[in-house]
Amino acid sequence: MSGWKAKRFWTTVEVVPEGAGFAITLDGRPVRTPAKAPLLLPTVAMAHAVAAEWAAQEGEVNPAAMPCTRSANAAIDKVAPQFDEVAALIAAYGETDLLCYRAEAPAALAARQAAAWDPLLDWAGGALAAPLARTAGVVPCAQDPGALARLGAAVRAQTPFQLAALHDLVAISGSLVLGLAVIAGRLTAEGAWAASRIDETWQTEQWGEDAEAVAAETLRHRDFLHAARFHGLASAAA
């Protein structure tokens, strides 16, 4: 037996101010999260993005076509109740940040990494007062506890909606510095994606593409760009 699938039952979708946020109503009924919490969104920009996803549904509801709704649900149902745990998980990426681990050879790859990554680590050392050590190879490199604490403070300064987006930026890229650079406007999402895939791009240049790997990378790229967009919606002025 096939699983039950929700079908569109509403005619109108509206954004309704509620308290300090914005609700989405379907024929006047407020949308709730999977955990039955009110779907209250922090900015009008995010509310309109979520409303557009509901308005675009035809026939069976397709959650895969509603990324802003899914991210908002995650922020409310998962991130907000576990804020400290999620923030700690993200901050821990600073201990083994992708940008700190360099290829020993070939020299051309090491040079490509340095050209893309050194300016970002310099930015973190200046703008965030969080200088991180660099090393060659994969042997763990101890980082200054003070620098890690300041990176953690930048993570904890996020709202639950912003943190949901930052989680994906960091987890997908493998770099806390890249995630923070995107949300600070130091780097575009596309620029950060390219910086995070230097090793993979190099391998493709040497050995050619693998169809399965390309398909997986395409999905990760899509999710990375969505996370950047969602953070922007969470940060937009009301």
Residue range 135-157, pLDDT digits in tens: 998 888 999 999 999 999 999 99
And the tokens for 72? Answer: 């908002």
Residue 10 identity (one-letter amino acid): W
CATH, residue 173: 1.10.3580.10
Asked if residues 200 and 216 have their Cβ atoms less than 8 Å apart, the reply is no
Q: Is residue 9 part of a domain?
A: no
The answer to whether position 127 is within a domain reads yes
How far is CA 150 from each of CA 91, 168, 186, rounded to the nearest angstrom?
Answer: 10, 20, 18
Largest CA distance in the chain: 62
What percent of the chain has pLDDT above 70? 97
Dihedral sign for Cα 57, 219, 187, 143, please: positive
Number of domains making up the chain: 1
In a domain, 57, yes or no: no
- Predicted pLDDT of residue 6: 82
pLDDT at res. 210: 85
- The confidence score (pLDDT) of residue 139 equals 87
Residue 51 lies in a domain: no
* Degrees to nearest 5, angle at CA 175 with 98 and 115: 60
Q: Which domain holds residue 198?
A: 82-235
Query: pLDDT: is 238 or 65 the higher one?
Result: 65
Residue 204 included in any domain: yes
Output the average pLDDT for the chain. Answer: 95
Q: Distance between CA atoms of 164 and 72, rounded to whole angstroms?
A: 8
